[in-house]
């Protein structure tokens, strides 16, 4: 299957003419008013009710859906309205204990790590087939619980999940050690062994994709898993892992616990019988996760954390193309991307033209019910994130940045924010330093190559960067000079299954996806055997 390019596919899918609206069981009346010049024409007085039930709201432990030990539940909400979708089992330390016990038994006594690699590969391939078959149901749950556009979830993200699971299914029978020469009469071989019980904590901005990024390599290497969902978006994970068991996964190999970070998350990070931990989320929480892991059994930890990625536009660029790509790099997924191009550096020779066109593009961004065809931007995830973004916008105004457009909420219900563009942004402003995680573009001016390298690197983060230029010498210089984990040249957000992803500095530890991710889930054992009268060494 050809590599999926998120940027190009998303652009095509969101601009394709749609001949019919999504079918729905009913309508939710919501008054949404068009604000200023913003393109909210696709928002009517009624929201589409997703045509799917919520059938899985309990914890998945040892192959069964079960209530939490305490019997507690917590609500998950529709970010379009703030209304309740469902009550979900609230896991805590006791539930983590139960899940880890099931995962430990499945690893030590169960069939998963003892299966042939081919058998495990077949289960993952069947899982991918089921994900593909249930593409629409998964996308509806993702949109309903998260607020991202349905077209994005259905045409981009779920297919990427399918591709990634197939990618790791292909790796299962290719994980092996080496033989090497040794000084003296010895035979040396290395074994690559599964690390054991893996704790995995995923975020709310890409629930299904992050589930696949975590489960794929862990299962390919023969490990068992306890996965904690984000409390904002638990629904799609339960549905997906139900399909994984339908594909033939033995009980206890993957367990899913929904709950809050300070209870379920902390219990998983500090559990003495968890052998490895993977976390995706904020840098602040990542520090806590790392500390809990170190204080417990010193389990190895991989972290995929925050970012404040520079998007650098040179004066030889096609400005129209650069504006569109920079717009995508920032506003995609409501700006809720760790690698968003949230510091837009533009050369002074094209700065004024770029700002005017970036403003016009933001004004024309289509905001509304994410279940409607043609919508580019849905609501933010929840009131906490919504208010955080509005506070950063307020900070930008107060610090002297020029508000070109946007800067306020849309409507009186739900968590919609106007696409916002600031110009005249300085490096020491909070909107240029902090990870906003919302639809706020900060445009900064630069003069020359050396200057922009220093400014781009002057950040606690180092997750990604975008470079827009026709000069390959400039591109090659920046490729090596920027202290980030990914550099996109004349593109952005290209997420092939084989491309490693992770950050420098406080953007994380380790890499997701690709061959490098397998190293996170393997132990290397050296085996040395004496050779008696060898014919050769």
Active site residue 304: yes
Segment 476-494, tens digit of pLDDT: 999 999 999 999 999 999 9
Q: Is the confidence at residue 15, as pLDDT, over 70?
A: no
Per-residue burial over 124-162, b = 16 or more CB atoms within 10 Å of its CB, e = otherwise: bbbbbebbbebbebbbbbbbbbbbbbbbbbbbbbbbbbb
Q: What is d(CA 234, CA 236) in angstroms, rounded to the nearest whole number?
A: 6
Lowest mean pLDDT among 35-44, 72-81, 271-280, 453-462: 35-44
Average pLDDT, the chain: 92
The answer, yes or no, to whether residue 39 has pLDDT greater than 60, is: no
Q: Which entry of 90, 142, 151, 304 is annotated as an active-site residue?
A: 304
Q: Which among 380, 364, 372 has a CA at the least distance from the CA of 324?
A: 364
Instruction: Find the mean pLDDT for residues 37-46.
Output: 54
How high is the pLDDT of residue 110?
Answer: 87
Contact 415, 383 (CB under 8 A): yes
E-strand ranges in 321-389 read 343-347
- CA–CA separation, 16 vs 45, rounded Å? 24
DSSP symbol at 278: E
pLDDT band at 46 (very low <50, low <70, confident <90, very high): confident
> Which residues touch 108 (CB under 8 Å, ≥6 apart)?
none
Residue 352 reports pLDDT greater than 90: yes
pLDDT confidence of residue 88: 98
Sheet of strand 186-194, all strands in order from the earlier edge strand to the far edge: 179-180, 186-194, 522-530
Distance, CA of 254 to CA of 306 (rounded, Å): 27
Structure tokens given for 362: 């933001």
Predicted local confidence at residue 489, as pLDDT:
97
Segment 217-234 mean pLDDT = 98
Question: How high is the pLDDT of residue 32?
Answer: 35
What the block records as the tokens of 149 is 């556009």
Provide the percentage of residues in the chain whose pLDDT is more than 70.
92
Q: Check pLDDT > 60 for residue 31.
A: no
- CA distance linking residue 415 with residue 74, whole number of Å: 20
Tell me the pLDDT band of 45, cut-offs 50, 70 and 90.
Answer: low
Flag the least confident range among 30-39, 54-63, 172-181, 458-467.
30-39
Q: Count CA atoms within 13 Å of residue 151 on its CB side.
A: 24
Kindly give the residue spans of alpha helices, DSSP state H, lying in 348-411.
351-363, 383-398
pLDDT tens readout for residues 131-170: 999 999 999 999 999 999 999 999 999 999 999 999 999 9
* Model confidence pLDDT, tens digit, residues 363-419: 999 999 999 999 999 999 999 999 999 999 999 999 999 999 999 999 989 999 999
Measuring CA to CA, which residue among 497, 461, 510 is closest to residue 195?
510
The model's pLDDT over 183-213, given as tens digits with 9 standing for 90+, comes to 999 999 999 999 999 999 999 999 999 999 9
Q: In terms of pTM, does the model score above 0.85?
A: yes
Higher pLDDT, 536 or 319: 319
C-beta of residue 256 within 8 angstroms of C-beta of residue 89:
no
Is residue 269 very low, low, confident or very high in pLDDT (cuts 50, 70, 90)?
A: very high
Name the pLDDT band for 40 (thresholds 50, 70, 90): low
pLDDT score of 33 more than 90? no
Residue 35 has pLDDT above 90, yes or no: no
Question: For 264-279, what is the mean pLDDT?
Answer: 98
Length of the chain measured in residues: 537
Contacts of 527 (CB under 8 A, 6+ apart): 188, 189, 190, 191
Q: Is the pLDDT of residue 4 over 80?
A: no
Q: What pLDDT sits at residue 13?
A: 39
pLDDT of residue 537: 85
* Domains within the chain, CATH numbers bracketed: 59-305+511-523 (3.40.605.10), 309-496 (3.40.309.10)
């Amino acid at each position: 299957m050809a590599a999926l390019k998120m940027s190009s596919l998303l652009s095509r899918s969101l601009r394709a003419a749609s001949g019919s609206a999504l079918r729905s069981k009913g309508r939710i009346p919501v008054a949404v008013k068009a604000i200023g010049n913003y393109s909210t024409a696709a928002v009517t007085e009624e929201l589409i009710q997703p045509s799917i039930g919520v059938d899985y709201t309990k914890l998945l432990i040892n192959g069964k859906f079960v209530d939490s030990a305490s019997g507690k539940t917590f609500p998950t909400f529709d970010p379009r309205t703030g209304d309740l979708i469902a009550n979900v089992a609230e896991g805590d330390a006791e539930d983590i204990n139960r899940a880890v016990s099931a995962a430990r038994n499945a690893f030590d006594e169960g069939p998963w790590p003892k299966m042939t690699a081919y058998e495990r590969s077949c289960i993952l391939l069947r899982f991918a087939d089921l994900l593909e078959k249930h593409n629409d149901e998964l996308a509806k749950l993702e949109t309903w619980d998260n607020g991202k556009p349905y077209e994005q979830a259905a045409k981009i993200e779920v297919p990427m999940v399918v591709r990634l699971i197939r990618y790791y299914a292909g790796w299962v029978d290719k994980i092996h050690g080496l033989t090497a020469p040794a000084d003296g009469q010895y035979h040396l071989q290395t074994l690559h062994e599964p690390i054991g019980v893996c704790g995995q904590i995923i975020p709310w901005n890409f629930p299904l994709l992050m589930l696949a990024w975590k489960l794929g390599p862990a299962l390919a290497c023969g490990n068992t898993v306890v996965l904690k969902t984000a409390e904002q978006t638990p629904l799609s994970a339960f549905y997906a892992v139900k399909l994984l068991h339908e594909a033939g996964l033995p009980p206890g190999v993957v367990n899913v616990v929904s709950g809050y970070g300070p209870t379920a998350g902390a219990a998983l990070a500090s559990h003495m019988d968890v052998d490895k931990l993977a976390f995706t989320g904020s840098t602040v929480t990542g520090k806590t996760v790392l500390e809990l892991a170190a204080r417990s059994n010193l389990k190895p930890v991989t972290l995929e954390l925050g970012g404040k990625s520079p998007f650098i536009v040179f004066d030889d660029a096609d400005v129209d193309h650069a504006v569109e790509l920079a717009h995508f790099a920032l506003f995609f997924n409501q700006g809720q991307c760790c690698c968003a191009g949230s510091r837009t550096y533009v050369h002074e020779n094209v700065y004024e033209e770029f700002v005017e066109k970036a403003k016009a593009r933001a004004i024309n961004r289509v905001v509304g019910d994410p279940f409607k065809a043609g919508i580019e931007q849905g609501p933010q995830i929840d009131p906490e994130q919504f208010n955080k973004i509005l506070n950063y916008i307020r900070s930008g105004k107060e610090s002297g940045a020029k508000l070109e457009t946007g800067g306020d909420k849309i409507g009186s219900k739900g968590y919609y924010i106007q696409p916002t563009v600031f110009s005249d942004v300085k490096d020491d402003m909070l909107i240029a330093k902090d990870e906003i995680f919302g639809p706020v573009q900060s445009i900064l001016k630069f003069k020359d190559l050396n200057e922009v390298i220093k400014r781009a690197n002057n950040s606690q983060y180092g997750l990604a960067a975008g470079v827009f230029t026709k000069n390959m010498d400039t591109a090659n210089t920046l490729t090596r000079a920027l202290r980030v984990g990914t550099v996109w040249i004349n593109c952005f957000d290209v997420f092939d299954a084989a491309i490693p992803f992770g950050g420098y500095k406080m953007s994380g530890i380790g890499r997701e996806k690709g061959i490098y991710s397998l190293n996170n889930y393997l132990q290397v054992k050296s085996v040395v055997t004496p050779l008696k009268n060898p014919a050769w060494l």
